[in-house]
């Protein structure tokens, strides 16, 4: 609920931050990152760690990728990533922001699996990554399916809650659903589910969203014309979609459809060749019904909410408002702890400066005492004995270091 990450994802990003592999650094071999994560924090197989790293680098899976990959990290056609010894990675800018406050006392820490190091319980994320990038699956017996959302819409919803809190008013869920208008999939597509039905999904934390691939009209030849599919439903394998359309053509189930060509590069581009006099809407309606060009994306807003026995997180199905408000509470805790840490450091420095200020008033006497002393420990004990109400041990050490 707080940083929207699974333990393996959190450990990967924390390890990369420790190694200095941030967004401005050069790429490093994925095998190096995976090995350090496995040896220090995540005692599981290297393949599982690498799969998690690859997913965080895939722009067609993450709305805001958390890892910047270099090399072959798979494709929409279902191609697997190259071996970790060939690919390289570094943190994305979004990950840098999530870890910006990590060393400022903002989150709790715990021992790693062998007690030789400490790792953060949660990252001090600055935006609700759980909604922005979504999540699939928690553990055995705890299923979840949270789709990605638009970062600007999610942040606008957070601001609306804050402004209403300042006016001592509660924000209605319907108002938030008017801001967060639905999932925002990295593969594009058109959402067919109506606003009322979407509000019901966000209210109950369960339901489905109907997504359809989008298209434009292409070139027209002498006896045919072309339809260009430029986006497909989220989570669908493009190669499988093209194969299913080809099966329709080979079986002659849709006579107006003549050919299908996948000419995609970085962007999706599937060309459907149909007869010149064919009804485009009827052709697409058949494909929407009999191929993965239209799919239902399941939504299950089950989250791990801290607050169980001994501080353990417990699974709970939440609505959109609860997720947003809990994240705001988490950010309030992070910022409060950071400011308390900064205030403590400032007060400590001020305390030393007060001791130095009085030391300058008695500078000659103080220097004489130090010169007569046999060492640092002797000088400190004499200072505390002569000026017990003016100096404490911290101030005395600071003066002697100067």
Q: Known catalytic residues? A: 86
Place of tokens 């950010």: 331
Q: Are 303 and 320 in contact (CB under 8 A)?
A: no
Q: How far apart are CA 272 and CA 258, in angstroms?
A: 8
CB 258 within 8 A of CB 241: no
Residue 222, φ and ψ in degrees, nearest 5: -65, -45
> Which residue, among 295, 363, 12, has the nearest Cα to 147 in the 3D structure?
295
Q: Which residues pair with 275 in a beta bridge?
A: 224
Cα 86 to Cα 50: distance, rounded to the nearest angstrom:
12
Whole-angstrom distance, CA of residue 296 vs CA of residue 289: 12
CB 265 within 8 A of CB 212: no
Tokens of 315: 């699974």
Q: Which residues contact 16 (CB under 8 A, 6 or more apart)?
A: 22, 33, 67, 89, 90, 91, 95
Q: CA-to-CA distance for 264 and 244, rounded, in angstroms?
A: 17
Alpha helices for 58-105 (secondary structure H): 93-98
Q: What angle do CA 267, 288, 59 make, to 5 degrees?
A: 25
| Cα(17)–Cα(23) distance, integer angstroms | 10
Q: What are phi and psi of 58, to 5 degrees?
A: -90, 115
Residue ranges of alpha helices (H) inside 294-361 are 320-361
């Amino acid at each position: 609920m707080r940083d929207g990450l699974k333990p393996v994802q959190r450990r990967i990003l924390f390890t990369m931050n420790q190694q200095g592999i941030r967004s401005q650094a050069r790429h490093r071999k994925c095998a190096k990152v995976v090995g350090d994560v496995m040896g220090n924090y995540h005692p599981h197989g290297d393949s599982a760690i690498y799969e998690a790293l690859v997913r965080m680098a895939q722009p067609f899976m993450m709305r805001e990728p958390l890892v910047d990959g270099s090399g072959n990290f798979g494709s929409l056609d279902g191609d697997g990533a190259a071996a970790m010894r060939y690919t390289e990675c570094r943190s994305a800018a979004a990950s840098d922001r999530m870890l910006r406050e990590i060393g400022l006392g903002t989150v709790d820490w715990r021992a790693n699996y062998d007690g030789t190091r400490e790792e953060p319980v949660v990252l001090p994320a600055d935006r609700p990554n759980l909604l922005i990038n979504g999540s699939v699956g928690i553990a055995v017996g705890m299923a979840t399916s949270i789709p990605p959302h638009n970062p600007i819409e999610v942040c606008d919803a957070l601001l609306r809650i804050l402004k209403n809190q300042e006016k001592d008013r509660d924000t209605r869920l319907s108002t938030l659903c008017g801001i967060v208008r639905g999932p925002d999939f990295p593969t594009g597509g058109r959402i067919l589910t109506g606003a009322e039905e979407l509000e019901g999904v966000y209210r109950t934390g369960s339901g489905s969203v109907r997504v359809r691939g989008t298209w434009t009209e292409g070139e027209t030849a002498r006896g045919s014309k072309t339809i260009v599919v430029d986006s497909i439903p989220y989570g669908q394998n493009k190669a499988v979609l093209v194969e299913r359309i080809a099966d329709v053509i080979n079986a002659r189930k849709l006579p107006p459809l003549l050919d299908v060509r996948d000419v995609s590069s970085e962007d999706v581009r599937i060309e459907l060749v149909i007869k010149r006099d064919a009804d485009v809407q009827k052709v697409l309606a058949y494909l929407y019904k009999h191929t993965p060009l239209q799919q239902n994306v399941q939504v299950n807003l089950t989250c791990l909410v801290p607050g169980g026995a001994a501080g353990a997180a417990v699974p709970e199905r939440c609505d959109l408002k609860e997720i947003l408000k809990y994240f705001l509470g988490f950010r309030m805790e992070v910022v409060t702890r950071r400011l308390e840490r900064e205030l403590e450091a400032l007060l400590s420095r001020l305390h030393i400066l007060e001791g130095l200020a009085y030391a300058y008033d008695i500078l000659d006497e103080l220097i004489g005492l130090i010169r007569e002393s046999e060492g640092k420990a002797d000088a400190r004990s004499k200072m505390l004995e002569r000026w017990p109400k003016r100096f404490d041990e911290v101030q005395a050490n600071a003066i002697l270091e100067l």
